[in-house]
Amino acid sequence: MSGRYDKAIVSVVVDKALYSFDNEFDYYLPQGAKVSIGQRVIVPFGKGGKKRVGLVTGFKQNADYGRLKDIYCVINDGVILGDEALRLMHWLKDNTFCTYFDAVKTILPGGMALNVSQRYAISDEFRKAPDSFALEPAEQAVSAMLLGCKSDRELNDMIEYGFDEQQKKLIGRLSEKSVLVSLDIIKQRVGSETEKNVRLTDSYLSGEYADKGGKPLTAKQKKVADFLTDADSASVKEVCYNCVVTSAVINNMEKNGIVECFDNEVSRSLTAGAKAVRSIDDIVLSDEQSAVYSGMSELMDSGKPQCALLKGVTGSGKTTVFLKLIDKALKQGKTALMLVPEISLTPQMVRNFTDLFGSNVAVIHSNLSLGQRTDEYKRIEKGEARIVIGTRSAVFAPLDNIGIIVIDEEGEHTYKSEKSPRYQARSIAKQRCFYHNATLLLASATPSLESAYFASIGRYKLFEMKKRYSQPVLPDVYLVDMKVEVETGNRSNFSRALADEIKNNLQRGEQTILLLNRRGYNTYMNCIKCGEVYKCPNCNIPLTYHKTNNCMICHYCGYTEVFTGKCKSCGSKFIYSTGTGTQRIEDEISTLFPSARVLRMDADTTMSKFSYEKNFDKFKNGEYDIMVGTQMIAKGLDFENVTLVGVLLIDKSLYAGDYLGYEKTFSLITQVVGRCGRGSKKGRAYLQTFSPEHYVLNLAADQNYDEFFRQECEIRKALLFPPYCDICEIGLSSVDEAVCKKGSDSFVKLFMKNLEGHGIPIRVLGPSACSVAKVNGKYRYRIIIKCKNNKEFRSVMQATLLDAYKSPALDKVSFFADMNGEII
């Protein structure tokens, strides 16, 4: 036994481990095997010793030797998580209540995930002499069935799908008796993109081929050989094109030992071949921009982690400042990261950057394929791209020596992940700045209340830009009382004032943007005769009618059914529909303005790859007169010929029912109003509402963020909401509502029990049903805990989660904890 104690012991985190059993496990490293921290391995896990992917997190000196297992094998793909990435993994585990491998999968692109499968083949010994094996009758029956398979694939399909549980148990015994040979197949989810290349062999180049009496080259082969002598190597396609030959010529040369073929990795990057067409030195900053650049330069030169907030009105030229600061980071020999909140903003931002920095730019967002994201990750890791632009997940890009991280429109909710790990990109960016001694710049015309608060108390350095670049003035904003419109007989979704302005814009050749944050055609349908409401059977909420495909769709779970025009309960054809979505607005525009060219931008029209870029380019080039869309058109876009913005049915977001409702409404209005009047022409914006007296709408119309911030802080301080506390939300769900309610009550009791003796000030609200009480067949409850997000509170919550997994009352309840507050 003493020999076993000489083996190296490593700590490993394991894939597919439940939160209640997630830990760093100790394993023996096999004799002669070498492994590095951050490298992947295959380990036995659980009672059955199932093969799982693991990640080595450290080496151990002391362990419980008697219970350790050996690592099966080391994956030879090198270190995939370096020191910083491992720190982020631990941080995510501690702060977002996820498993270690949830964190690993979030940090790495999905295409780098490994799939481990077990394949079987009949051994040669058994095929030659099956009667020489001592098998029991049941084993003989199974082995006979396997011998009848025509291929290994058929054999494995039979084991996987054709055998019952009893027969599957015999497979292990047949492997032990060497009837079957077990093979582990380890495959990366997405492989590298390769192309077939060709080069001359050493034998041909050295003259050995000719000395040994090799066949003389044909005229076509001689042409290929001459080309490869000059080019060294080339793809088969390039050789065929330049030498005007077919691939058969190259195949014959390979058979004769004249050339050799090999696979060459090809990048699927969108920007790898981009060329810079402008110089950053040609950009001239305004006085306000120069002041911000100078102040930020001082922070970057300090060599310490810094955080700053840039509050600049829409159109003030914040992007130009970002470009200059990123250029400064590159000239210092460092790298830079730029985050945007929406995929729709990425094409325009990428074009700005590639025009100046060429292939030095990499792009990461969810609309890229797995292969493209993997290739971009590799480019960044190799140092081929020193600027990364992307949405939330880009915050984990493997940049080294970061100089600056910029988060544009930093208050947007899209920077918060809604699935495990439930991280806030801003918090990850701070951790990375601490590690690299970098500067974090948060920027927005409407910063989050938390960021504005931290700037007001001096935690963040505050910079402001109060004027639009090149001096265009902010648009005139008008509140339209839709109650008056209805009273005077106007049943349209367009007020008379807005309709007149759209008509004027069309006559002048100017463009219009219309915002309605609901997609579909009608949002509510019911039978007049029997009162039956068309609801989602999984979520118990009204279905939205989509005229384009004549279907009713649930926007929560995706349930779809064809609209027959008849009531499902009584068969009546009298169906009442109400509520308005972007499809209906598109139809109304076509009726009111038949000659108008309308572009609709919502989740239904932007499913295909590059749809954002293509549609926005067409709008910018004047191919459309009016763009109607959801919130994806409200931020960051710059179209010089847009002089009119209309905001339709804004009241829904105003009365959303959560403490962020006012902040989201103010931000949305301010941002979309800022889309007009960005060129030389004066802009106008019309906000249609049934609550024209509401102070939030009036402050948004005046673009008065400072007063909104003051009033909102007073409300939140009185009611104790962020930034004056943190909020931990516990989400619970079950197919049985009574079980969910009982489990929620039990969770509160477990939490209060674990809280005893800590003296942590907290307030618990609930449990109560969520505003959408049922989604995808599961009833949902939530518990709101107002707290101080510190290490002590998180340890109490972690203990509660572990107890909850053991509690019989929560056995049939799914639950999670989500920290929405600022991590301290």
Q: Which residues contact 760 (CB under 8 A, 6 or more apart)?
A: 787, 788, 792, 793, 796
- Model pLDDT for residues 47-82, shown as the tens digit of each residue: 777 889 999 999 987 666 667 888 988 998 889 999
- Model pLDDT for residues 730-759, shown as the tens digit of each residue: 999 999 999 999 999 999 999 999 999 898
530 annotated among ligand-binding-site residues: yes
Name the band, by pLDDT with cuts 50, 70 and 90, for residue 608. low
| Cβ-based neighbour number of residue 258 at 10 Å | 23
- Model pLDDT for residues 382-411, shown as the tens digit of each residue: 999 999 999 999 999 999 999 999 999 999
Give residue limits of the domains in the chain: 2-113, 117-188, 194-265, 280-465, 476-519+581-716, 726-819
| Burial class, 662, CB count within 10 angstroms (exposed 0-12 / middle 13-18 / buried 19+) | buried
For tokens 């829904």, what's the residue? 652
What Rg, from alpha-carbon coordinates, does the chain have?
A: 32
| Rounded CA separation 31/95 (Å) | 37
* Residue 384 CA neighbour count, 13 Å, CB half: 16
pTM summary value? 0.81
* SS3 track for 467-531: CCCCCCCCCEEEEEEHHHHHHCCCCCCCCHHHHHHHHHHHHHCCEEEEECCCCCCECEEEECCCC
Give percent above pLDDT 70 in the chain.
95
725 annotated among ligand-binding-site residues: no
| Rounded CA separation 557/570 (Å) | 26
Give the range among 336-350, 755-769, 790-804 with minimum mean pLDDT. Answer: 336-350
Name the band, by pLDDT with cuts 50, 70 and 90, for residue 169. confident
Expressed in percent and rounded to 5, the helix, strand and coil fractions of the chain are 40, 25, 35
Indicate the residue type of 243.
C
- Model pLDDT for residues 229-256, shown as the tens digit of each residue: 887 888 888 788 778 888 899 999 999 8
536 annotated among ligand-binding-site residues: yes
Predicted pLDDT at 92: 97
Local structure of residue 728 (DSSP, 8 states): E
Bridge partners, residue 577, by sequence:
525
Predicted pLDDT at 822: 39
| Rounded CA separation 726/744 (Å) | 21
Contact between 392 and 428 under an 8 Å Cβ cutoff? The reply is: no
Check whether 101 has a pLDDT greater than 90.
yes
Predicted pLDDT at 293: 97
| Burial class, 473, CB count within 10 angstroms (exposed 0-12 / middle 13-18 / buried 19+) | exposed
Instruction: Please give the CATH architecture assigned to the domain spanning 194-265.
Output: Orthogonal Bundle (1.10)
Check whether 549 has a pLDDT greater than 90.
no
- Model pLDDT for residues 609-633, shown as the tens digit of each residue: 667 788 888 999 999 999 999 888 8
Predicted pLDDT at 432: 97
Of 133-142, 239-248, 252-261, 807-816, which has the strongest mean pLDDT?
Answer: 807-816
| Cβ-based neighbour number of residue 233 at 10 Å | 16
| Rounded CA separation 518/516 (Å) | 6
Bridge partners, residue 768, by sequence:
782
554 annotated among ligand-binding-site residues: yes
Of 137-146, 274-283, 291-300, which has the strongest mean pLDDT?
Answer: 291-300
- Model pLDDT for residues 558-604, shown as the tens digit of each residue: 888 899 888 888 989 898 888 888 999 999 999 999 999 999 998 88
Q: What is the average pLDDT score of the chain?
A: 89
| Rounded CA separation 167/169 (Å) | 5
149 annotated among ligand-binding-site residues: no
Nearest to 41 by CA among 32, 30, 714, 4: 30
Domain 476-519+581-716 fold is Rossmann fold (3.40.50)
Predicted pLDDT at 10: 94
Check whether 329 has a pLDDT greater than 60.
yes
Nearest to 318 by CA among 9, 824, 671: 671
- Model pLDDT for residues 429-443, shown as the tens digit of each residue: 999 999 999 999 999
Mean pLDDT of 808-812: 95
Predicted pLDDT at 244: 83
Contact between 461 and 309 under an 8 Å Cβ cutoff? The reply is: yes
Check whether 823 has a pLDDT greater than 80.
no
The answer to whether the peptide bond before residue 692 is cis (omega within 30 degrees of 0) is no
213: helix, coil or strand?
Answer: coil
| Cα-Cα-Cα-Cα dihedral sign, residues 538, 543, 545, 548 | negative
Check whether 469 has a pLDDT greater than 80.
no
- pLDDT: is 376 or 190 the higher one? 376
For tokens 């069309």, what's the residue? 506
Predicted pLDDT at 96: 95
| Rounded CA separation 104/79 (Å) | 13
570 annotated among ligand-binding-site residues: yes
475 is written with which tokens? 């648009």
Predicted pLDDT at 519: 85
Are both 280-465 and 476-519+581-716 of the same fold? yes
| Rounded CA separation 501/409 (Å) | 29
- Model pLDDT for residues 263-286, shown as the tens digit of each residue: 766 555 667 767 878 899 889 999
Predicted pLDDT at 472: 66
Predicted pLDDT at 676: 86
Domain 2-113 fold is GIY-YIG endonuclease (3.40.1440)
Contact between 318 and 408 under an 8 Å Cβ cutoff? The reply is: yes
| Rounded CA separation 279/356 (Å) | 6
Predicted pLDDT at 86: 97
Predicted pLDDT at 726: 94
Domain 726-819 fold is Alpha-Beta Plaits (3.30.70)
Contact between 186 and 114 under an 8 Å Cβ cutoff? The reply is: yes
Check whether 153 has a pLDDT greater than 70.
yes
Instruction: Please give the CATH architecture assigned to the domain spanning 280-465.
Output: 3-Layer(aba) Sandwich (3.40)
Predicted pLDDT at 1: 38
Question: To which H or E segment does residue 653 belong?
Answer: helix 651-654
